[in-house]
Structure formats: C-alpha cells, structure tokens
Amino acid sequence: MDEAVICLEEQLEAKSKPKSVGDKLKKMVPDMKSLNLLGRSGDPGSASASGTSTPQISIEASEPTLNAGSSDFRIAGDESDSPDRDDLNDEEHVVEIRECPICHQPRLNKRSDTDIITHIATCASQDWRQVNNVLVSGFVTASQAQRKWYSKVITKISYGGYKLGANSANILVQDRITGQINEEKMSVYVRLGIRMLYKGLKSREMENKRIRKMLKNLSIKQGKKFDDPASREEIEKFIEFHRLNMDEVLLPLNEFNNFNEFFYRALKPGARPCSAPDNSKIIVSPADCRSVVFNEMSQATSVWVKGREFNMKRLLGDAYPEDVSRFDGGSLGIFRLAPQDYHRFHMPVDGIMGEPRTIEGEYYTVNPMAIRSALDVYGENVRVLVPIDSEQHGRVMVICVGAMMVGSTVITATAGQQVKRTDELGYFKFGGSTILLLFEPGKMLYDDDLVDNSSSALETLVRVGMSVGHSPDEPQWTPDMRKDEQEVTDAEKKEAKRRIQGSAAVEDSPEGSGEDEPRHSRKPSAAPTVNTLAASAM
C-alpha cells in the first residue's frame, strides 16, 4: 500500500511540474486573478513562515488548485460550466464519494473517478496530518479508528467511505445479540473485482452472453471440483481459516468424502433451537445468515434491491405465476448466507409444504454490491420456489436463490408433508446463497429491531430458529433481541466477530483492525486455496 501511495505522489508531482516556471506563472496568474484565486483583500499572496510570498499555481482546469500555504483547495472552474458533467453523473462509478473528506470540496460525485482520486490524493499530500481526521467523526466499527493514514485515504477514495447504508464495497453487519457492528472481511482484489464488474458496467453490458456463459461454466466447474474426493484436503484448512465450531457438527471429519459434503454438514440435534416452540404465530429465521427485512415490498426496492427490472412477476417467473397478485404489496425478507455459515436451511413457519419448482437462470453473485446495482439478481438467478400453506400466516413462499460458485440447491423435504418450524428444508452446496421469504399483505410483521436496521441498509446477523417476525395480533418475541451491554460476554462478542468477519486473519489485531496489523505479529494459520477464497466472497 505504501508503494502505491508513493507512486501516486510521484505521478502527481511530475504532472504538476511546469516546463518553465516563469512562463507558467505569466500564463496562469492572469487567469487566477479572474477567478479570484489570487489578490485577496489584504493578502496578495500566501506568506510562508519566513515571510516570503509564495504564488498560488493552478495546474489545469480539470486538476485541483494547489495553495502551498493553505490546506483549503478549490477546483479551478465550476462543474456546471462543463457540458459533459451531466453525462458523468448518469454513469455508475467505482468511486462513490460526494465531498472531499479533507478540503470538503462539494459535488465530487459529478467528476470522473480519476479526477476524484487525483483531487483527494493531492489534498492529502499537502499535509498528511489532516488524514488522521478523515474518519474520526464517521467510523462505524471500532477497527476503523486503528488504521493508518494511507488506509483511511485509500479506503475513502476506493470504496466510498464507511457509513451505514453506504452504496459502497464495505459490507457492515450488526450482530443481533451483542449489538456489535463489524465489517465482513473480503480480499481487496475480490472486493474491487465485484464492484467493477457489477457497478462499473451498465446492465446491458452485464447481459452479454459471453459473461453469463462464463459465470455459469465457472460455477459448474467449481461445483464438480468440490465434489471430487481430492477436495477433502481443503476441509481442515477451511475449518482453521474460519475458526469453525466443530463441537456442534453431527459427523466426524473422517466421514466426509469431499469438501462439498463438509460444506453442507448437518448439526447435532438441538444445536439450533426454535424460539417460542409452542407458539406458531412466531416466524423464525430459515438460516444462519445476514438479514434485511421489509414489511412492504416498496420499502425493499427503495432501500436495498436496486435492480431496475425487479418485480414480483419476474421473481416468481413461470414457477408460480398464479401467486403474483397474492404477494404484491406483501412483506419481503432477504437472508444471505456467507461461506462460514451453516449451509442447511429450515422451515420458517408451521404448515403444509407445496411442490418445489425450479427456475433456470444465471449465476450472478448475491453479494450486496450486486444486489444494489442495476442488475435484477433475484429475478435472473437460478432459484427454487417452495410454497408453504400456513394456518397462521397464509401462503408463504420460500425462494432459494443460487449464486456464483453454487453447484446446486438440494431440497430434502417432501411436498405435501406437514412441517414445523426449524424442520430441515434443504441445503446449498459451496458458494454464496440467499433465501427470500414472501408473505401476503397483512399476514405478518417483522421484528422492530430488524426493520430499523434494514431501513438503514444495515444487515443483521441471525441464526436458524431465531425469531424474525410474528402475526399482527401477536407481540414480538423479545428474548432474541439485543442484550443489555453488561449482559454480553466476551465469548459472545468474539463469536459474533468470527461469524461476520469470516476468518482468523484479524483475530489478534486490536478490535479487529486487521488490515494494519504488522504481518510478522500475526500467528500463522492454514489458508484455503485461492479458488476457495475467491469463491467464498461470491
């Protein structure tokens, strides 16, 4: 990272160095006077500490204006004067930032990615002490306060900053029980790759047949690889890397024939108890996952699901077209599984299970960066629809959405059978995956704490069997909600961080700061293959 910043500084310095200082000043000073950049009242120039007057030099109209004696910078020329700014504003960018965090230059989002990065890096290079304040008032997780100046600047200009609901590459998740907010860890290369693929390209480009074919072939190939007996060597590495709790796993390791069998491992009876077991009006989480929930579909499309063509008709497809009007205006729950999560999913309500029907589709990632792009991931990905007719909640539609690197979705329950909450419904093979829950209007309400987080586009970490909603005439189940701070144990905090961050790489760093921990101070740990790590992020 140091080398990258030094390289950027050198390029900026070389670019800003005039061929002839005298000629450059003669040419630029009249222009700067007309822009009121020089000759302020009582201040003909910027005086240095020694009393020498230092002129202000404007590099180009499209570059930041540098003031050697001040950290207050201006962009020469107004954005509104440039005819192509509207076109730039209509495009989706990798860099998402509205205001320079150092000089507070507004409307940076109207500029190109290169101009934004150049502006912020130039501001920072004038006084590196200012960078310590970039995230002081805006960090969300404790780890962000520990990072070095270059991490703060590069993070700010590359990912759009850390804030709740940010349309950026940072995935922030709150643990429901402890209330901790942690950043879901992902390789910077994978993170930028996903962002550039799904945010940098317009939807019509993503629909290119070659890209869709590539994602499908890659998913099938990876699925076959993890079904191969040779993949068993990945199991112990995966356990060590993610610090998985093996005490709750039903079978011993020597009984798994390949990596996929371990990935969709079963748990011991009682490992995921059902909340309010005698009250069928309480709706429970179908998976160990990160959740966002909305009592009305319109809220989901305004806050979280940004696909331009997302609608109920596309979502249900030709599997259950007769139910489109039934679920219009109803409630939506989105339950996203990460690689370190338990990958079997369960019944959210009591009732009678209907016929599972598969809709063939694409293999786009279900990562939040893609969900909040113009692409309709849920309406285009391969998925399995399973209806449950519930006495308390009417018809409930469970939609199992496959994703990049998912070999297949397997339904283990049988159509026509009476099911109970937390009964097993099926499992996902290796890769990212999501469960959607659809409810008819007026049949249920999601729990308040989940709704509040979701309205801020903040995912909440929940487990199988934990209450997520209830009938309108039934109070919400509060024992599953956040504990008082004094009741939260260190073990619970550590477990929440592990489940959200997903790796042991930052375990020993202060408050999970991770990125800036010296490499020599970290304990060595087993590392899964590159393919396993890349697929984990999808």
**In the numeric block, which tokens belong to residue 325?**
């009007």
Pick the more confident residue, 456 or 465: 465
Residue 484 belongs to a domain: no
pLDDT digits (tens, 9 = 90+) for 344-371: 999 999 999 999 999 887 666 655 555 5
In this prediction, residue 11 has a pLDDT band, given cuts at 50, 70 and 90, of: low
Cα separation, 407 vs 225, in Å, equals 10
Number of neighbouring beta carbons within 10 Å of residue 374: 18
State the pLDDT at residue 476: 96
Q: Is the pLDDT of residue 24 over 50?
A: no
How many domains, the chain?
1
Residue 25 belongs to a domain: yes
Residue 65 belongs to a domain: yes
Q: What is the extent of the structural domain holding 107? A: 2-163
Residue 529 belongs to a domain: no
DSSP H or E run through 23: helix 21-34
Residue 431 belongs to a domain: no
State the pLDDT at residue 302: 63
pLDDT digits (tens, 9 = 90+) for 390-410: 999 999 999 998 876 555 789
Cα separation, 222 vs 340, in Å, equals 17
> So which residues are the catalytic ones?
288, 346, 433
DSSP H or E run through 409: strand 409-411
β-partners of residue 425 are none
Number of neighbouring beta carbons within 10 Å of residue 457: 17
State the pLDDT at residue 225: 84
Residue 230 belongs to a domain: no
Cα separation, 472 vs 477, in Å, equals 12
State the pLDDT at residue 97: 72
Residue 497 belongs to a domain: no
- 3-state secondary structure string, 363-381? CCCCCHHHHCCCCCHHHHE
Cα separation, 111 vs 489, in Å, equals 47
State the pLDDT at residue 517: 41
Q: Work out the mean pLDDT of the chain and round it to a whole number.
A: 72
pTM higher than the cut 0.75 = no
In this prediction, residue 451 has a pLDDT band, given cuts at 50, 70 and 90, of: very high
Contact 398, 335 (CB under 8 A): no
Cα separation, 333 vs 340, in Å, equals 21
pLDDT digits (tens, 9 = 90+) for 409-441: 899 999 999 999 999 999 998 765 889 999 999
Residue 7 belongs to a domain: yes
Among 397, 458, 462, smallest CA distance to 425 is for: 397
